[in-house]
Structure 1
Amino acid sequence: MNHESRKAGKNLRDSKLTEQIIAAAIRVHRALGPGFLESVYEEALAVEFALGGIQFIRQHPVPLFYRDHQIGEHRLDFLVEGKIIVELKAISRLEDIHFAIGRSHLKATNL
């Protein structure tokens, strides 16, 4: 995340909750370091959220519709307090597809 992105994030709704989420993720990464599967980081982040009193749903299903027909579903790694999507990636670099997936999650959830 570049400086401009962080600066713009200061004006987001729920910035306190966002800061708590980021702090929890940083604690997990500092404790575990790189190299684990996403599922390991997901387990650890769930522990951090629970210890911090943050309400969350893991692997939250989101139905996908086309012309009023359900055609599949997304699974969100975490839906935090019903309003923030947390998508974990255990990779060294984000690619365009990762951003596209994030946008599709937002579109499917109307968040």
Structure 2
Amino acid sequence: MEFDNLSNRVIGLAIEVHKELGPGLLENTYKQCLAYELSQIQIKFLLEVELPVQYKEISVSCGYRIDLLIENKLIVELKSVDEVHPIHEAQLLTYMKLAKIRIGLLMNFNEKILKNGIKRFVL
């Protein structure tokens, strides 16, 4: 599936979840509901993917976890915060670099209008 099509479908599903639930819930609630929506239209995804750091010949488990890895080509990092800070963006960019995934979406569900809380990243 082409990136623009895939990301637009994921964004559409996220907006559907946000319309149904509104802002103010915990991040995990939105993650589980978005996972449900993805499964309903048979988009392949993984939840909470552990992401070790490769250092020389060892793999170091540092506790990094990708919220949603979609179709093995799109990372979605979900937040439910008052304000997205540069550290949130850095977190997504780090995951993208470590996973060698070029495309990422940062979504803050704690916005009145979800589209105002979505940022796309490309490496």
| Coarse TM-score class (shorter-chain normalised) | 0.7 to 0.9
Structure 1 spans left out of the alignment, 5+ residues: 1-12
Equivalent residue pairs, number:
99
In 1, distance between residues paired with 2:44 and 2:5?
14
Q: TM-score, normalised by structure 1?
A: 0.83
In 2, distance between residues paired with 1:43 and 1:101?
20
SS of 2:61 mapped into structure 1: strand
Identity %: 34
- CA offset at residue 92 of structure 1? 2.3
Q: Once the two structures are superposed, what CA deviation does each residue of 1:22-77 show, in whole Å capped at 9, x if it has no partner?
A: 00100011100011111111110011101122110011112112233222242111
- CA offset at residue 105 of structure 1? 0.3
SS of 1:101 mapped into structure 2: helix
Q: TM-score, normalised by structure 2?
A: 0.76
Q: Higher helix fraction: Structure 1 or Structure 2?
A: 1
| Structure 1 vs Structure 2 CA RMSD | 1.2
Larger Rg: 1
One-letter amino acid of the counterpart of residue 72, structure 2: G
SS of 1:86 mapped into structure 2: strand
Structure 1 residue ranges (4+ consecutive) displaced by more than 4 angstroms after TM superposition: none
